[in-house]
């Protein structure tokens, strides 16, 4: 997920502050599901918007674009006033870059001609790395600097035979909205959500990070329709979760035990059918899934906040 801010004048991005009409934020060129979450500017969603990397662009790319972050958002009667800063580790993106990335970032046909603030469900840094606009060294340096300013939790080390009931590990695919809904739900219970890509690597491989950060008392696995596949010879493809989701689901069952792992399924998703006794909870619109998870947690001895 990332913010795309497009302004009418080049001088605007030189000030570090910007004011934009509310009806131009998270509506135009933003997917409906994302718009429904962010266009009302709740305290939680504002904090999420500040976490997203941001592209600062001028209409029709009359100047180079910059990568940075929004540092403050103030709600006014008809506008949002923001403070922002560029990430000085990343270079300017030359004129024409945004147009060149139009397919990768889901840029609308006339989007570069409109002053607005869109929120895109794409992995900006993955795209910029793949297209060689930034390097892995620059990305690592940038993320390490942000972690010094906004530190993330260290891996827990409970005693052998004990479970760390202060944290819940969340496994997810590419559905950022579902991931944030679950993370917010966990936080509201007074428990710390652990999301792997938000934790420092410090030279560790992915599997080493999973081993270190999964010392938790519970895990929630999100099955969302991110991939498509079928058996050889089948003519019909089915939506599937990402392969990392299925792998980490099995790993966490082995590490924590089946009772301490719950799988939440969003939409029509093919799920593994050869794991006896695994319960899959539907992510329904009326949010009954939250009550089911709370019951599981209370049964396991978690202290649930009433806030």
The residue that leads in pLDDT, 152 or 304, is: 304
Task: Report the b/e string of 177-206 with b at 16+ CB within 10 A.
Answer: bbbbbbbbbbeebebebbbbebbbeeeeee
What pTM value is reported for the model?
0.76
Task: Report how far Cα 185 is from the mean position of its chain's Cα atoms.
Answer: 14
Closest C-alpha among 42, 46, 109, 112 to residue 83: 46
pLDDT computed for residue 287 by the predictor: 85
For the chain, the first-to-last Cα distance in angstroms comes to: 28
Task: Report how far Cα 50 is from the mean position of its chain's Cα atoms.
Answer: 12
In this structure, how many other beta carbons lie within 10 angstroms of the beta carbon of residue 40? Answer: 10
pLDDT tier for residue 239 given thresholds of 50, 70 and 90? confident
pLDDT computed for residue 303 by the predictor: 86
User: Which residue is it, tokens 């709740």?
Assistant: 42
| Percent of the chain clearing pLDDT 70 (strictly above) | 90
Q: What is the mean pLDDT of residues 164-182?
A: 90
pLDDT computed for residue 149 by the predictor: 63
* Alpha-carbon dihedral angle through residues 272, 276, 278, 280, given to the nearest 10 degrees: 50
Q: Which two tokens stand for residue 233?
A: 């010879």
| Percent of the chain clearing pLDDT 90 (strictly above) | 57
């Amino acid at each position: 997920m990332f913010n795309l801010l497009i302004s009418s004048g080049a001088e605007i991005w030189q000030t570090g502050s910007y004011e934009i009409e509310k009806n131009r934020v998270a509506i135009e060129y933003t997917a409906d599901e994302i718009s429904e979450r962010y266009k009302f500017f709740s305290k939680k969603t504002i904090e999420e918007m500040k976490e997203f990397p941001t592209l600062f662009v001028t209409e029709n790319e009359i100047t180079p674009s910059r990568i940075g972050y929004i540092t403050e958002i103030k709600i006014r009667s008809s506008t949002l006033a923001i403070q922002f800063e560029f990430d000085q580790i990343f270079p300017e993106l030359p004129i024409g870059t945004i147009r060149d990335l139009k397919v990768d970032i889901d840029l609308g046909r006339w989007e570069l001609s409109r002053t607005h603030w869109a929120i895109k469900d794409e992995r900006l840094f993955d795209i910029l790395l793949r297209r060689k606009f930034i390097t892995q060294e620059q990305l690592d340096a940038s993320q390490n600097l942000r972690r010094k300013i906004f530190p993330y939790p260290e891996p827990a080390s409970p005693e052998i035979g004990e479970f760390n009931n202060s944290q819940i590990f969340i496994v997810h695919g590419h559905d950022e909205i579902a991931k944030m809904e679950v993370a917010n739900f966990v936080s509201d219970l007074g428990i710390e959500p652990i999301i792997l890509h938000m934790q420092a690597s410090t030279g560790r491989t992915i599997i080493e990070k999973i081993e270190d950060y999964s010392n938790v008392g519970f895990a929630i696995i999100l099955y969302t329709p991110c991939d498509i596949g079928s058996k050889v010879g089948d003519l019909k493809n089915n939506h599937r979760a990402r392969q990392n989701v299925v792998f980490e689901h099995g790993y966490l069952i082995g590490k924590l035990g089946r009772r301490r792992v719950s799988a939440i399924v969003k939409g029509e998703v093919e799920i593994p059918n050869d794991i006896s006794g695994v319960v899959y909870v539907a992510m329904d619109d009326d949010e009954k899934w939250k009550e089911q998870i709370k019951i599981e947690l209370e049964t396991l001895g978690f202290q649930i906040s009433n806030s």
